Structure 1
Amino acid sequence: MESEEMKKPVFDQEAGSLLVKELRANFAAGKTRSYDWRVAQLKGMIKMMEDHEPEILTALRDDLSKPELESSIYEIALLKNSCVLALKELKQWMMPEKAKTSLTTFPSSAETVSEPLGVVLIISAWNFPFLLSLDPVVGAIAAGNAIVLKPSEIAPATSSLLVRLVGQYLDSSCIRVVEGAVPETSALLDQKWDKILYTGNGRIGRIVMAAAAKHLTPVVLELGGKCPVIVDSGINLRVTARRIIMGKWGCNNGQACISPDYIITTKDYTPKLVDALKHELEQFYGKNPLESKDLSRIVNSNHFARLSKLLDDDKVSGKIVHGGARDKTNLKIAPTILLDVPRDSLIMNEEIFGPLLPIITVDKVEDSFNVINSSGTKPLAAYLFSNNKKLKEQFVVTVSAGGLVVNDTAVHLAVHSLPFGGVGESGMGAYHGKFSFDTFSHKKAVLYRSFAGDAPLRYPPYTSKKIRLMKAFLGGSIVGIIRALLG
């Protein structure tokens, strides 16, 4: 008897081509452009979450052992908020924006019209497999596009659920989900899209960008990087420790692109910070965190082995000051703090993406900026804990990152009035709130002119007087125009 795998239809380049052709035809028919269609899809997404929240929670638990709070709040509630915001603001977002005109085109009026790009591809990540799959889809729907979503095969339960629920609650003639791994992703990347949004790591990001370049397709790359946390003295240490812990271990056990990757603090302040982190970690996760139900597991054995390799590095293994326990069978690693790890160690030269947190010490807190900037890459997020106004200002001016947060970690993700995206190797482009709508829209310039006021200046034969007047008109100065007329 044929196995279930053998019965599955193959999604290859031909299947990808047919899919895109079908979606382009439906987009060309104008199906996705209407306000009513966009509203119906956003409402359908909300209903999908309301009807199936227990199933979504189960899928996330199966894929990552996510605590219910993290799944409910950081995946479902954040996505629902995106839908609600889009429904509330959509009419305003879709309205043409008036633009000023100049003397050169007088009499005239102008506006910028937001139009959908067409057929877009969204490739999502495994660490927040529900949110990172559908949050970009909210923006693509709001902008009026046809969409193909490719969820991560590393979170198979959520991927399978997305295929079923999206097909049931959204318009399958214009919004489709394609499951699979490298062959299916490659078949999709062979097609011509009007935009690609990819969330993941830099290695795959380069592959996506190279594939997009063949068709001159614009891309949004939501990548990662080593997100630093600078800790100054003279702060509320308990609150600082708790907020670092929640940004690190409370976000999928460190498996998040905006998780704190390492801490920088002064030598003098280090003992107090380490003690505070140890105390709060025990309060949150108990004396044996491997048994805690409030910590996600490592996603799979490959990532467990990768993190174990970082810990077992000769330069690092003796630097553990807290944690370090591992359970290979259940893919669990306890929250682990490492002190004074060498800058040339493996753990300091790649994104950790797990529950390991190195601490680097400096003589004075201002030296932290040099540590970050000398790394050669720009992080997706950077964090500072300080009450020093001058240091905060210096942090904002000196550190280049996708986003900055002062006196907290990761919470900027929930502020829809801020763009979320990277810079340099941490990504390009941004989304969230109206930025999502803008990301999936083309801003079309439109100028309206009257038949009145047709000046002979622009027409041959060209004379020196016409040249003077044209320069004056382009300059926009009334005085200059008068002077040109007077010769």
Structure 2
Amino acid sequence: MATTILEILSAQRKFFKSQKTKDVNYRLQFLKALKTEILSKEQDIYFALKKDFNKSEFEAFISEFGLVISELNLAIKNLKKWAKPQSVKSSLLTFPSKDFIYKEPYGNVLIIAPWNYPFLLAIEPLIMAIAAGNTVVLKPSELTTNTSKILSKIITKVFPIEMAASIEGGIDIATELLAQKWDYIFFTGSVPVGKIVAKAAAKYLTPVTLELGGKSPCIIDDTVNTKLTAKRLVWGKFLNGGQTCITADYLIVHRNIKDALIKNIKNEIIAFYGENPINSSDFPRIINYKHTKRLAKTLEGVKVIFGGQIDVDNCYISPTLVDEPNLNSALMSNEIFGPILPILSYDSEKDIEKIIWNYEKPLALYIFSNNKAFIKENITKYEFGGGVVNDLLIHFSNNRLPFGGVGTSGMGAYHGKHGFNTFTHNKPIIKRGNWIDPNIRYAPYSYKNLNIIKKMFKWFG
């Protein structure tokens, strides 16, 4: 049995060339087996997420497990249709012909998963890579050891190693994996590591999908219901302890309703997690000691108006509100990735521009408003991966929508059929007829034929 990275990759290359994964029924067999195994391990997955994050079963289901099952159901139901060669209208210039797009797997795929949603963001791209007919090596996060072990058990149980394998380890393993030649790389994680992945892929001109992050803004005007807005903000911001790449990194609130909104946010935090959230079974922990210390440091020198309790030993930071931090402060310099919510105010749309354009293109942008003109203006003015009007996060849950970033927040997209397309090469094929063969394109060339061709390009090209 293959044991080293080179042996596993060699076995997968050989297996891919056997053409077995190009059989759609063969892929479906494994997707169905994967679903069965995941369902049988449901409580084990919840337990692992609880140990890694103190994540409740409810939150684990709505933010990870349920989305995975939904993605599997979608792939199993639609794979034969997705994988079927697509007939396209032929061109008069290629007459007579029948033209097609064949759906071809790339080959050997590397997936590097993050720690913040360690089950969802490992399994979801794996599902679509397998559905598209690729072999897969998955590198789960070393920071979520319990979830990574469950992932490895599931993959080992379902797949032969030459089709899919999970390789656990830290930076040294990731470095060794990235040193190999792959046919496709899918990475979810931070912008700095994304640049390392892109550089490694460039050596072999390997195509990549990079799901990164950034400082995602949330704009709130003075037409909103502040109580409802606060409830949705608290849910979306503090889900997973704020460790969500598409959560609102900071608020930009109209000055007229800022005080009322803050009051309601405070009330909703208490309603969600109690007066002392460290005792709440519904409030997750920071992933580790290092990240807790990092977050604690960002609170130095800023005005905390709610929360701010820190217990480094228990990887706990309470839901925290910060008022009007300086844009150059440590808190506002990088993506926060924790339960800290900066609140900035604005009077005019120029104020909003000054704040948002101070940063790179974000992965998400949110707008809370009942003003259609204001909503349209801000959706079209700013470049971002995806967004929601009057809520947070929920665009991720619709697998009919592509999910991905733009600029430094990422490249490429996935989810549902978009995920299948990500791991699929669209191979154009023309099947030329033989029953007629006009001489117009053949030498010796003539001006008469050239004029005819020019007209054809003008009319039909």
Give the TM-score of the pair, scaled to structure 1. Answer: 0.92
2:262 counterpart of 1:262: no
Q: Which residue of 2 aligns with 1:284?
A: 272
Query: What code does the residue aligned with 1:403 have?
Result: G
Aligned counterparts of 1:370 and 1:435: Cα–Cα separation in 2: 34
Query: What code does the residue aligned with 1:408 have?
Result: D
Q: Which residue of 2 aligns with 1:271?
A: 259
2:68 counterpart of 1:79: yes
**Of 123, 131, 135, the match for 1:142:** 131
SS in 2 for 1:382: strand
Map residues 54-453 of structure 1 onto 2, 5 A cutoff. 54-250=43-239, 252-312=240-300, 314=301, 316=302, 319-364=303-348, 367-372=351-356, 374-453=357-436
Q: Any conservation in 1 of the 2:2–2:11 contact (CA below 8 Å)?
A: no
SS in 2 for 1:283: helix
Deviations 1:234-292 (A, max 9, x none): 22222211111111102x11001011100001222110110010011111111111211
Identify the range of structure 1 (172-181 vs 424-433) with the bigger mean alpha-carbon deviation. 172-181
Compute the displacement of 1:468 (Å): 0.8
SS in 2 for 1:269: helix
Aligned counterparts of 1:362 and 1:375: Cα–Cα separation in 2: 15
SS in 1 for 2:198: helix
Change (3 A) 1:236 1:365: farther
Q: Which residue of 2 aligns with 1:47?
A: 36
Q: Any conservation in 1 of the 2:38–2:154 contact (CA below 8 Å)?
A: no
SS in 1 for 2:253: strand
Q: Any conservation in 2 of the 1:258–1:380 contact (CA below 8 Å)?
A: yes
Q: Any conservation in 1 of the 2:222–2:256 contact (CA below 8 Å)?
A: no
Moved over 6 A (4+): none
2:452 counterpart of 1:469: yes
Unaligned runs of 5+ in 2: none
Aligned counterparts of 1:115 and 1:475: Cα–Cα separation in 2: 33
Compute the displacement of 1:378 (Å): 0.6
SS in 2 for 1:309: helix
SS in 2 for 1:329: helix
Query: What code does the residue aligned with 1:71 have?
Result: A
Aligned counterparts of 2:165 and 2:230: Cα–Cα separation in 1: 43
Query: What code does the residue aligned with 1:328 have?
Result: V
Deviations 1:428-478 (A, max 9, x none): 000000000000000000111111331111111111112111212222359
Compute the displacement of 1:35 (Å): 1.4
Query: What code does the residue aligned with 1:349 have?
Result: S
Q: Any conservation in 1 of the 2:243–2:338 contact (CA below 8 Å)?
A: yes
Q: Any conservation in 1 of the 2:413–2:419 contact (CA below 8 Å)?
A: yes
Query: What code does the residue aligned with 1:353 have?
Result: F
Change (3 A) 1:419 1:477: closer
SS in 1 for 2:129: helix
Aligned counterparts of 2:24 and 2:128: Cα–Cα separation in 1: 14
Deviations 1:45-88 (A, max 9, x none): 21122111111111111111111111122111100000001111
Q: Any conservation in 2 of the 1:369–1:395 contact (CA below 8 Å)?
A: no
Change (3 A) 1:213 1:371: same
SS in 2 for 1:249: helix
Change (3 A) 1:58 1:185: same
Q: Any conservation in 2 of the 1:266–1:365 contact (CA below 8 Å)?
A: no
Query: What code does the residue aligned with 1:392 have?
Result: I
Identify the range of structure 1 (235-244 vs 351-360) with the bigger mean alpha-carbon deviation. 235-244
Aligned counterparts of 2:261 and 2:245: Cα–Cα separation in 1: 23
Q: Which residue of 2 aligns with 1:484?
A: none
SS in 2 for 1:32: helix
Q: Any conservation in 2 of the 1:228–1:260 contact (CA below 8 Å)?
A: yes
Rg (Cα) greater in structure: 1
SS in 2 for 1:171: coil
Aligned counterparts of 2:351 and 2:97: Cα–Cα separation in 1: 55
Deviations 1:309-356 (A, max 9, x none): 1011x2x1xx11110011122111000001111111111110000000
SS in 2 for 1:375: coil
Query: What code does the residue aligned with 1:441 have?
Result: T
Aligned counterparts of 1:232 and 1:10: Cα–Cα separation in 2: 58
Q: Percent identity?
A: 42
Aligned counterparts of 1:109 and 1:415: Cα–Cα separation in 2: 35
Deviations 1:352-409 (A, max 9, x none): 000000011111356324421x224011111000000101111221121100110100
Q: Any conservation in 1 of the 2:362–2:409 contact (CA below 8 Å)?
A: yes
SS in 2 for 1:126: coil
Q: Any conservation in 2 of the 1:304–1:331 contact (CA below 8 Å)?
A: yes
Query: What code does the residue aligned with 2:246 have?
Result: I
SS in 1 for 2:313: coil
Change (3 A) 1:376 1:279: closer
Aligned counterparts of 2:349 and 2:262: Cα–Cα separation in 1: 16
Q: Which residue of 2 aligns with 1:483?
A: none
Deviations 1:81-111 (A, max 9, x none): 0000111111110111111122111111101
Aligned counterparts of 1:385 and 1:477: Cα–Cα separation in 2: 47
Compute the displacement of 1:427 (Å): 0.3
